[in-house]
Amino acid sequence: MSMWAEPLYTAAEMRAAEEAYEAPMLDLMERAGTAVAEAVMRRHPDARRISVWCGTGANGGDGFVAARKLHEAKRDVEIVLGGPEEKISGDPAANLTRARKLGISIADEGEGEVAVDALYGTGFTGKPRDDAARRIGEVNALGVPVVSVDVPSGVDASTGEVAGPAVHAAATITFHRRKVGLVVAPGRFHAGEVEVADIGLAPVHTRHGFVTEEILELVPRRGPRDNKYTAGSVLVVGGSTGKTGAPCLSAEAALRAGAGIVTLCAPASLNLVFEQRLLEVMSRPCPDEDGVMTMDAADEILDAAGKATAVAIGPGLGRTDAARALVGYLLDRLDKPVVLDADGLWALAGHLDWVFARDAPTVLTPHEGELARLLGRESDWIAARRLNAVQAGADDVGAVVLLKGADTLVASPGRGALVCDLGNPGLATAGTGDVLAGIVAAFLAKGMDAKRGAAAAAAAGGVAARLAAESHGTAGMIASDVVEALSPALSR
């Protein structure tokens, strides 16, 4: 991975890192279990009684080591076995024997002020069987803080999918590097605070990456030789009766994200609204019917697009047959980067070939409901398997897809995903999607490639939301607070 993205490991990639390790695996287990014990004592210095719930595999082995280290530190420890003892073999069995020799009690059910969840690790996938599901339920029912080992039991480490019951951890101590399942929903909501412990493994190449703030250094800044056109020229196409705010937010966000000039093509009957609302954005009135642009707007839009270096289509565009036809026509004739959002995505459903046929880059910015519509699925289906869904979307559409959420995911066809979670809950408000579309358009207009530009836009929106929270808090943050904070976020 690059400086601006940390590697995110799948179970298979983690296995490859372990297989490349040349010393005994028992050493790795010792380091992993020690890191867990140290984290438990650091996080819960006053906890005297600790129950360590151990499965029959390697994750349980880490748990046996942690139990031993906690016992040596004079804590009252008990081990709860999550499966039949005869199933435990190899290194985990050696560590269970050591724990027994120290006189650590093996209990059938756990009591304690803190629980360690070492039931199932990165090897777990699918739905827990009945006995496993029961154990996971017992851990959750304890009502005490849980520290999970590597990944919370029941979470798929490679995807973040949770097909049945899963442990709700207060913290997860993961080894070597973050796992995909700790940062992608719904797994991320089970992981609590994630702490990465170095256990001495060498890096391996990973398919997915975790975006850091450093990605903002890739965004071209205005230089002394720039003029308004070379700094990035954005065209926004949108607006309809009752939805004039959306294109305004996109246009203003594009300017605050560093575009040198922004033009808005919007319905002629609403032009006065935009002329009054937008100081720095030029407006081009386009033919409309009942406040929604029609096919007759196409020539005006293509003319305005002549000088643009990127186009955002969809914010507040309206949902009529005429609007749909207009979107198809523009996608066919625009030979420059396009961002499709909101009503632009609505128009695309059933016509994915419109994007597939394009040579120029396209970025789609759906939320779960919009992606569900594009893929002919229910939004619950998307929510349950976000990583697979965003990749399927990118492959089906032949474009970069940015799936919005607390864990924004950016995928390109056949290439793995970037995960960005630099924002805060204040972003859960109407209009922040329009803001994001404007930022993506600005970064594409500056010449960034589609995947990096989309990921950088998600990061910029996230950092701006954090800055906005410093002055406004998150309880009632609104989208224009984020727009206002974009220039400071990119000037740091």
Cβ atoms within 10 Å, residue 298: 18
DSSP string, 14-34: HHHHHHT--S-HHHHHHHHHH
Per DSSP, which regions of 329-415 are E strands? 338-340, 362-364, 400-403, 408-411
Q: Are 50 and 79 in contact (CB under 8 A)?
A: no
Give the C-alpha separation, 284 to 8, whole Å: 45
Give the C-alpha separation, 97 to 62, whole Å: 13
Helix (H) or strand (E) holding 418: strand 417-420
Give the C-alpha separation, 451 to 444, whole Å: 10
Phi, psi of 477 (to 5 degrees): -60, 140
pTM of the model: 0.97
Could you tell me the sign of the dihedral formed by the alpha carbons of 146, 148, 152, 154, in that order?
negative
pLDDT of residue 2: 79
Per-residue pLDDT of the chain (492 residues; tens, 9 = 90+): 679 999 999 999 999 999 999 999 999 999 999 999 999 999 999 999 999 999 999 999 999 999 999 999 999 999 999 999 999 999 999 999 999 999 999 998 888 999 999 999 999 999 999 999 999 999 999 999 999 999 999 999 999 999 999 999 999 999 999 999 999 999 999 999 999 999 999 999 999 999 999 999 999 999 999 999 999 999 999 999 999 999 999 999 999 999 999 999 999 999 999 999 999 999 999 999 999 999 999 999 999 999 999 999 999 999 999 999 999 999 999 999 999 999 999 999 999 999 999 999 999 999 999 999 999 999 999 999 999 999 999 999 999 999 999 999 999 999 999 999 999 999 999 999 999 999 999 999 999 999 999 999 999 999 999 999 999 999 999 999 999 999 999 998
Nearest to 336 by CA among 367, 354, 312, 371: 312
DSSP string, 218-255: GSPPP-TT--TTTT-EEEEE---TT--HHHHHHHHHHH
pLDDT of residue 210: 98
Q: Are 79 and 63 in contact (CB under 8 A)?
A: yes
